Amino acid sequence: MRLLKNIFFFRGFEYVSKQKLKEKLKSMVKLTAGGTVAFYGIGLWSNNAKFYESMVMPAVRWLDPEMAHRAAVLAAKYGLVPRDRSPDLAVLRTSLWGLEFDNPVGLAAGFDKHGEACDGMLDVGFGFVEVGSVTPQPQPGNPQPRVFRLEEDDAVINRYGFNSEGHAAVVERLRARREAGGLVGVNLGKNKLSADAAADYVAGVNAFAGLASYFVINVSSPNTPGLRELQKGDDLERLLDSVLEARDAACPPPGRPPVLLKIAPDLSAEQRQHVAQCALARKERLGGLIVSNTTISRDAGLRSPHAAETGGLSGRPLQKLSTDTVADMYRLTNGQIPIVGVGGVFSGEDAYQKVRAGASLVQLYTSLAVCGPPIVGEIKRQLAELLTADGFSSVSEAVGADHRPGKTRTNSAAIHGRAVSEQIRADLRTAAGS
């Protein structure tokens, strides 16, 4: 009898122990899962560059590039991106076209094609955001795959081909966020099968009048057949005049939004001269130039197996070409036409080089895709340090400094800029290998 009691006792104890063990295991799983979510949540919200380099961006690279792009837009749309809570330094504030920029670092067109993520990206710390390109009618763009990572080169090749939800959808979104404020430009494109390009751009001005902080005439994407021909000859002059007339009619002063022309870095010397002459002839009405779009050229040093893909190349390999084009256009326009410099901006040094070459503002996109949102704050911090080291009290004072005698860089600023750029490159290589 005592033996039976002992058997029942131990079996009962075993059952109770198993139940407690299960409960403990469930608690441990919940605690671990909660801790993991909290860890990632804190890392994401803290805008920690090292966290993004070592944890987030390597995970993102497992996704198809276009899927990763879409996920990033949705994250920004729903506020699942880190917010830059630090006020911008006074040295970064600048004024242009009657607009006040908290900082000169903007998000280039191509990321938020449909106007879904403006507020999220402004929260990340950009001084301004550009949506688009937007076409009058919805169109799917080119067949997939159409985006390729060149991880070894910190670059991207895309041939999206103006995939757009059309004017109506984007107008509705921008109208819904109008009270939120912030500077939001609209990059205008043409439909692939449109017979009248000028009419498409004019339609864009009319559609976004009262909603856009500025307009961009995008005639430099390499992914829409015949588009780049609009940068040449009489076609460019007629297009500019049509769009400027439409802007003047749709947007009475004060507060008339500027119109900017976005050009390719692949223009010949003669073509650049023509663009400069067209801009100077309309300098009282044209807001400026965005220099530059992606390039169809391929540097012999590209290492990625995707380097031969058709489309526009962006990222670090574009940095020197775009900066040289900024300098050239600044020289050709005698510094009289404001320039927005874009292409290969991965550091404050890259941004500073464009400012000194002649850019009043800069934009980035590919470095955001490579490094994540913390890159924005890093670029701003480094740019402020470089401006201060060279004795500038504002961005506007440094614009075109390389073209002025006696405005050479101090050794400390140049050395600091190179050191920061090298550190970023090293961090990127480490993250890519993890």
DSSP readout, 135-169?
-SS-B--SPSP-EEEEGGGTEEEE-----B--HHH
Global pTM reads 0.86
Choose the catalytic residue: 133, 194, 220, 221: 221
Residue 105: its H or E element: strand 105-107
Tokens of 286: 């044209």
For residue 406, the SS3 value is coil
Q: Are strands 339-342 and 288-291 parallel, antiparallel or unpaired?
A: parallel
Q: For 256, which DSSP code?
A: P
Cis preceding-peptide flag for 133 (omega within 30 of 0)? yes
Output the pLDDT for position 55: 74
For residue 53, the SS3 value is helix
- Chain center to CA of 146: 18
Query: Rounded distance, CA 12 to CA 87, Å?
Result: 64
Query: Rounded distance, CA 37 to CA 15, Å?
Result: 33
Query: Rounded distance, CA 27 to CA 8, Å?
Result: 28
Place of tokens 């509705």: 172
Output the pLDDT for position 19: 64
Output the pLDDT for position 60: 82
Place of tokens 């704050």: 377
| CB of 148 closer than 8 Å to CB of 158 | yes
Residue 188, strand partner residues: 134, 217
Output the pLDDT for position 167: 98
Annotation says 221 is catalytic: yes
Find all residues with CB under 8 Å of 271, minimum gap 6, and list them.
Answer: 231, 232
Torsion angle, alpha carbons of 352, 354, 355, 360, to 10: -140
> For the chain, which residues score pLDDT lower than 70?
1-49, 411-434
Neighbour-count burial of 101, counting CB atoms closer than 10 A to its CB (0-12 exposed, 13-18 middle, 19+ buried): buried
Nearest by Cα to 420 from 361, 370, 375? 375
What is the residue extent of each domain of the chain? 63-405+418-424
Nearest by Cα to 316 from 422, 415, 223, 398? 422
Length of the chain, please? 434
Residue 276, strand partner residues: none
Neighbour-count burial of 211, counting CB atoms closer than 10 A to its CB (0-12 exposed, 13-18 middle, 19+ buried): middle
Q: For 180, which DSSP code?
A: G
Taking residue 321's Cβ as centre, other Cβ atoms within 10 Å add up to: 18
Query: Rounded distance, CA 52 to CA 60, Å?
Result: 10
- % helix, strand, coil for the chain, step of 5: 50, 15, 35
Domain 63-405+418-424 has CATH 3.40.50.300: no
Output the pLDDT for position 21: 54
H-helix segments, 333-410: 348-357, 366-371, 374-389, 395-398
Nearest by Cα to 351 from 376, 383, 374, 373? 383
